[in-house]
Amino acid sequence: MAILVDRETRVLIQGITGRSGVQVTSELLDYGTKVVAGVTPGKGGQEIDTVPVFNSVSEAIKTVGEVDVAMVYVPPLSAHAAAMEAIEAKIALVHIFVEKMPVFDVCQVLSLAVKNQVRVLGPASVGAISPGEGKIGSIGGPAPDNVFSKGPIGVISRSGGMCSELGLLITNSGFGQSTVVGIGGDLIVGTTFSDLLIEFEQDRDTKAVVAFGEVGGSSEIEVARLIEEGKFTKPFIIFLAGKFAEKLPRDTSLGHAGAIVGMESTMAQKIKALRDAGAIVAENFEEIPDLIKKAVG
């Protein structure tokens, strides 16, 4: 099993005729993901790599049937309209690859998503991959089999690059991944660490979860609370990057919009809360494989 995406997942790509849309379509089809439709207003009737293009989401669904995921691959200022259209169609998962989406637009999208019981992954999310099953987004690039392998370890990270680094580290250690998810590095994102841990808890093939945490935000504190409440009971291993940042001036931004020094909890508070809850905090990135072995045997 896996979460978010498997071999039966049916995908629609908004912005499929753009450069990024064309590229990701090819990658997904090569991996075996079922890309059943694309949408670009005014370009209906075309085909991209055998995938039919429609003028609207509703037109696409009417023709090809229900879809499980809408992937938003449009320019930042067009992302609001595209995401809202997919949410109004009540597609269960809307993945927003777009970076630099205006914060107010994100808030409106997430508000409508809650009302329509739609999950949003992103913005600025590299996507998710269930090795050997399927993927959404650009995670792993055109050759994901060089990085990811099927196995029992769930992986979560804000950073798309660290999704691949963790995947390769776990693969090389002899373990594989059930699903790897990049939640996105923007200040506000739709799907959190805690949301995914609840999904991984229900996945019988996931034996443990590894996460890449960062300075700023409160995701790790929420995870500690989730573990304390008994809502996630599997081994949770996390490496927190950016300890050096505690010495930097408050409000210094590091890479991701959500990684801001002094924002929410301090690194020390995060580590204490996680350890008190029973999470396994890695001192060094390279020790993660050993911690996995101790946790799951």
* Residues belonging to the active site: 256
* Backbone dihedral angles phi then psi of residue 177, each to the nearest 5 degrees: -120, 145
Question: Quick one: tokens of 29?
Answer: 């089809």
The angle at the Cα of 221, spanning 200 to 182, to the nearest 5 degrees, equals 45
Nearest Cα residue to 27 out of 132, 128, 142, 130: 142
Which residues on neighbouring strands pair with residue 238, listed in sequence order?
Answer: 211, 281
Question: Quick one: tokens of 90?
Answer: 């009540």
Contact 80, 108 (CB under 8 A): yes
- Which residues, other chains included, contact 266 with Cβ-Cβ below 8 Å and sequence gap of 6+? 246
Question: Quick one: tokens of 133?
Answer: 């099953």
Question: Quick one: tokens of 83?
Answer: 């995401």
The tokens 């691959």 sit on which residue? Answer: 73
Q: Is the Cα torsion angle 118, 123, 129, 135 positive or negative in sign?
A: positive
- Tell me how far apart the alpha carbons of residues 66 and 290 are, in angstroms, rounded to a whole number: 43
- Tell me how far apart the alpha carbons of residues 217 and 237 are, in angstroms, rounded to a whole number: 18
Contact 283, 210 (CB under 8 A): no
Amino acid 107 reads C
- Which residues, other chains included, contact 186 with Cβ-Cβ below 8 Å and sequence gap of 6+? 99, 101, 106, 122, 123, 124, 256, 257, 258
